[in-house]
Chains A and B, each alone.
Chain A
Amino acid sequence: MALVSQRTAGGRRRRHSGALLLLGPFFLLFAFTYVIPILYGFGLSLFRERYDGVGWEGPRRVFAGLHNYTRALTDQEFLVGTGRVLLYGLIYVPLLIALAAALALLLDSALTAARRFFHTVLFLPHIVPGLIAAIVWVYLYTPGLSPVIDGLESLGADVDLLNGAPLLFSLVNIAVWQSLGFNVVLIYVALQAVPRATVEAATLDGAGELRTALGVKLPQVFPAVMVATLFTIIGSLQLFTEPQIVQSSAESSVTSTWTPNMLAYSAAFNSNDYHYAATVSVLVAVLAGVLSFAVTTFANRRSAR
């Protein structure tokens, strides 16, 4: 008896050390590139700089407690910027996910030859670096440069895609163009795992293509759709590249602190205020965490049903 338990304990220990060896590199990297920077950022956010008089003598670094957090939570730029990305996400996330799911289902039921072609076409924009895509789109949006705008103007339509209400949709359009292909592939791959037997059974029972797609296939790829949703929500909270390019075109009402990430960037790299930049970053991370938690809870509850 004693011998047996000793043997299993030894086996467990060996198995543990094996797991540790395999997982070690991951946790090491995870700690260095993720946990430690977050802790460092959080530490930074608890301090601030103080200047005496004009400040020619340089700053003193002082403990700030929650000062930076109250500063951010009363900062119009941060609050309005957060509202903006939430509104942006409200338009962007459902639109992208619905389009991606629809296209994936279409691809799944299409002819094999066409499938290959559309796959490539849809995925191509994802290969273009986000920065380049944004520059090309901003070019297409800028009056006087864009053939599209010029064409519309010659038809008598006065459109301004870089200001006012259309602005948000212009940004959503860039993001959809960029990430649609990736999400289609994500859902399409999940569709390949749907047992053909269930699809055939549905067909035998007299369900049409549409009915099969929505009633049989879609529920089975729900986890993949949720993963795509989660990535997209986090991505939209971190909105940066597209508005930054629009801002630098100087034709738009987009300011240098238009989204929380732009505010953090400006604080860090224009103002050298790393304490405030860290604070804003921590708050964005917390918001992303809360939203992710909400989405996964919703998804778990749904799949438990």
Chain B
Amino acid sequence: MYQRVLAAVAAALLLASCGIGGGASGNGNGPTVVTYWSWISGSEELVDRFNATHDDVRVVLERVPAGTGGGYSKMFNAVRAGRAPDVVTVEYPQLPGFVTQNVVRPLEPLGLDELEPEFPAWAWQQTELGGQLAALPLNIGPTVLFYRADLFEEYGLEPPTTWDAYRATAERLRAEHPDTAITNFGSNDAALLAALAWQAGAEWFDTSSGNWRVGGTDEPTGRFSAYWESMIADGLVTVGPTFEERHVTALQEGTSLTLIGAPWTAANVSRFVPELAGAWGAVPLPQWDAGSPAAANYGGSALAVPEGADHPEAAAEFIRWAATSPEAVDAIAGVNTSYPAHLGQAEVWGPGIEAANPYVDGMNLPETAAAAAATVDPGWEWGPDMTVGFARLVDETTTGLDRPGGLADALRRWQDATRDQLRQRGFDVGG
């Protein structure tokens, strides 16, 4: 009996010492271990390259579900429970939520604010919230239009440069090739809807008056929603979830000719329709005013250090490397076609991506993306609860878009419900 107890105690001690031993390797003589939570494709390659070139810090990647699919919730809970990782991936729309919930720590004390001149001003503005740098932009999603260059040529069409020309092209397609639509209007993609509003010059959130203002009814929003309502009502586009079976089938059959996206979209397209390599071209998104080209940001992500991270300095070293070094761009070029936020990285990205990813080669994506990245409207802000904001937007826009005023009504309902929800949530909400 006593022997058995003794054995149990010994086993427990042994386990405990193993635990201590495991923890000690992080701050002893070996490299500092940094845990990185991400779901972005190419994260493995990124981390492997960092570890291969650094001796002082070793990054351990932990795959989490995509942010709005549970990843963000996991991060919030980890911080709350005092088990935060050292680095997390955050998308721009959710960053204000991370800041208002005190989930990330400012990056100024870690010296990352000195990098400001190396990033586009609008991208920096997306991550500098309330006067503090909440995250470092990693990649961005300047809007571009992907089009089937082969079929455009076959049908004698030119890629449209304005939204009016885009509609005229759609009408001609409908008349000459009745089975073919110019695009699929994504009914499950709130971020794309926001990007289209952003490009038109809308501002859905505004904190300049010291509290939250929510607007889904300004003139640019009305202009863009009226445009798409009539495109849908006149049957010029299909409506349905993006990259779900029906959309993919239409892409495969060549009955959906353009895709509104960003550089990262190319990797998705290559995964869904690999057989269309070489068929695509990329041009700037059609313009409202051809005289003053405008783009929006659609997607992309930044790197942040959570509150309670064990090794913030080492985390900052990894973040600085990932978001500024040409090596980091090279590491992921084969699997991820995201456009880097960093100006220096962006310069090496073009030739690198075309060499590493044959699908992208010949699309003219680098020039198009660079032009778009330089013309993103810097005035856009995101709200403090965008996971709910996007879910609500999808809820409102899934049905009823084919009526006149359908999209505008949905956006008005979204605006009113968002104001109400933020007020109930405890935020100071103005008009």
CA distance A163 to B35 in the complex (A): 44
Q: Which of B132, B249, B395, B427 contacts A55 (CB 8 A)?
A: B427
Q: A49-B426, A256-B394 are in contact. Are A272 and B101 (CB under 8 A)?
A: yes
B399 at the binding interface (Cβ < 8 Å): yes
The interface centre, meaning the residue of A59, A251, A268, A272 with most chain B CB atoms within 10 A of its CB, is A272
Beta-carbon contact of A51 and B427 below 8 Å: yes
A170 at the binding interface (Cβ < 8 Å): no
Beta-carbon contact of B99 and A56 below 8 Å: yes
> Residues 381-396 of chain B: 1 if any A CB is under 8 Å from the residue's CB, otherwise 0?
0001101100110110
Residues of B within 8 A of A253 (CB): 398-399
CA distance A274 to B277 in the complex (A): 47
CB distance from B185 to the nearest CB of A (A): 12
CA distance A255 to B388 in the complex (A): 11
CA distance A266 to B70 in the complex (A): 11
Q: Which of A48, A163, A249 contacts B426 (CB 8 A)?
A: A48
A205 at the binding interface (Cβ < 8 Å): no
B334 at the binding interface (Cβ < 8 Å): no
Q: Which of B101, B132, B210 contacts A59 (CB 8 A)?
A: B101
Q: A59-B100, A252-B398 are in contact. Are A269 and B73 (CB under 8 A)?
A: yes
Q: Which of B132, B188, B211 contacts A250 (CB 8 A)?
A: B188
CA distance A52 to B124 in the complex (A): 24
Beta-carbon contact of A270 and B207 below 8 Å: no
The A234-282 residues at the B interface (CB cut-off 8 A) are 249-253, 255-257, 266, 268-273, 276
The interface centre, meaning the residue of B100, B102, B187 with most chain A CB atoms within 10 A of its CB, is B100
Q: Closest B-chain residue to A68, C-beta based?
A: B424
CA distance A145 to B97 in the complex (A): 37
Beta-carbon contact of A54 and B211 below 8 Å: yes
Q: A144-B245, A272-B76 are in contact. Are A256 and B391 (CB under 8 A)?
A: yes
B428 at the binding interface (Cβ < 8 Å): yes
Q: A51-B428, A53-B428 are in contact. Are A250 and B244 (CB under 8 A)?
A: yes
CB distance from A228 to the nearest CB of B (A): 34
Residues of A within 8 A of B187 (CB): 250
A58 at the binding interface (Cβ < 8 Å): yes
Chain A, interface SS category: loop
Beta-carbon contact of B70 and A269 below 8 Å: yes
Beta-carbon contact of B425 and A58 below 8 Å: no
Residues of B within 8 A of A257 (CB): 395
B246 at the binding interface (Cβ < 8 Å): yes
B241 at the binding interface (Cβ < 8 Å): yes
Q: Which of A56, A71, A266 contacts B388 (CB 8 A)?
A: A266
The B97-149 residues at the A interface (CB cut-off 8 A) are 97, 99-102, 129-132
Beta-carbon contact of B240 and A251 below 8 Å: yes
Beta-carbon contact of A51 and B426 below 8 Å: yes
Interface residues on A, range: 20 to 34
B380 at the binding interface (Cβ < 8 Å): no
Residues of B within 8 A of A269 (CB): 70, 73
CA distance A88 to B418 in the complex (A): 28
CB distance from A162 to the nearest CB of B (A): 10
Residues of B within 8 A of A266 (CB): 388, 391
B364 at the binding interface (Cβ < 8 Å): no
B68 at the binding interface (Cβ < 8 Å): yes
Beta-carbon contact of A256 and B395 below 8 Å: yes
A50 at the binding interface (Cβ < 8 Å): yes
Residues of B within 8 A of A249 (CB): 241
CB distance from B209 to the nearest CB of A (A): 9
Beta-carbon contact of B426 and A56 below 8 Å: no
Beta-carbon contact of A56 and B100 below 8 Å: yes
> Residues 31-57 of chain A: 1 if any B CB is under 8 Å from the residue's CB, otherwise 0?
000000000000000001111111111
CA distance A257 to B241 in the complex (A): 19
Q: Closest A-chain residue to B427, C-beta based?
A: A51
Beta-carbon contact of A55 and B398 below 8 Å: no
Q: Which of A50, A55, A71, A270 contacts B391 (CB 8 A)?
A: A270
B349 at the binding interface (Cβ < 8 Å): no
CA distance A269 to B77 in the complex (A): 9
Beta-carbon contact of A250 and B428 below 8 Å: no
Q: Closest B-chain residue to A273, C-beta based?
A: B425
CA distance A50 to B425 in the complex (A): 8
> Residues 129-159 of chain A: 1 if any B CB is under 8 Å from the residue's CB, otherwise 0?
0000000000000001100000000000000
Q: A51-B426, A55-B428, A71-B424 are in contact. Are A256 and B392 (CB under 8 A)?
A: yes
Beta-carbon contact of A250 and B398 below 8 Å: yes
CA distance A177 to B398 in the complex (A): 28
CB distance from B101 to the nearest CB of A (A): 6
Q: Closest B-chain residue to A74, C-beta based?
A: B424
Q: Which of A58, A252, A268 contacts B100 (CB 8 A)?
A: A58
Q: A250-B398, A270-B391, A271-B387 are in contact. Are A50 and B99 (CB under 8 A)?
A: no
The B359-415 residues at the A interface (CB cut-off 8 A) are 384-385, 387-388, 391-392, 394-395, 398-399
> Residues 59-95 of chain A: 1 if any B CB is under 8 Å from the residue's CB, otherwise 0?
1000000000001000000000000000000000000
Q: Which of B388, B398, B399 contacts A270 (CB 8 A)?
A: B388
Beta-carbon contact of A163 and B399 below 8 Å: yes
B318 at the binding interface (Cβ < 8 Å): no
Residues of A within 8 A of B68 (CB): 270
Q: Closest B-chain residue to A253, C-beta based?
A: B399
Residues of A within 8 A of B92 (CB): none
Residues of A within 8 A of B244 (CB): 250
Residues of A within 8 A of B249 (CB): 144
B212 at the binding interface (Cβ < 8 Å): yes
Residues of B within 8 A of A163 (CB): 399
8 sample A-B contacts, Cβ–Cβ < 8 Å, listed by A number: A51-B384, A54-B100, A55-B212, A144-B249, A251-B240, A253-B398, A269-B70, A271-B387
A-B interface, 10 closest residue pairs, ranked by CB to CB distance from nearest = A56-B130, A250-B188, A58-B102, A255-B395, A250-B241, A55-B100, A256-B391, A270-B387, A269-B73, A49-B426
Q: CB within 8 Å of B: which residues of A? A: 48-59, 71, 144-145, 163, 249-253, 255-257, 266, 268-273, 276
Known: A56-B99, A250-B188. 11 other contacts (CB 8 A): A48-B426, A54-B384, A55-B384, A59-B101, A71-B424, A145-B246, A250-B244, A251-B398, A252-B398, A255-B392, A270-B391
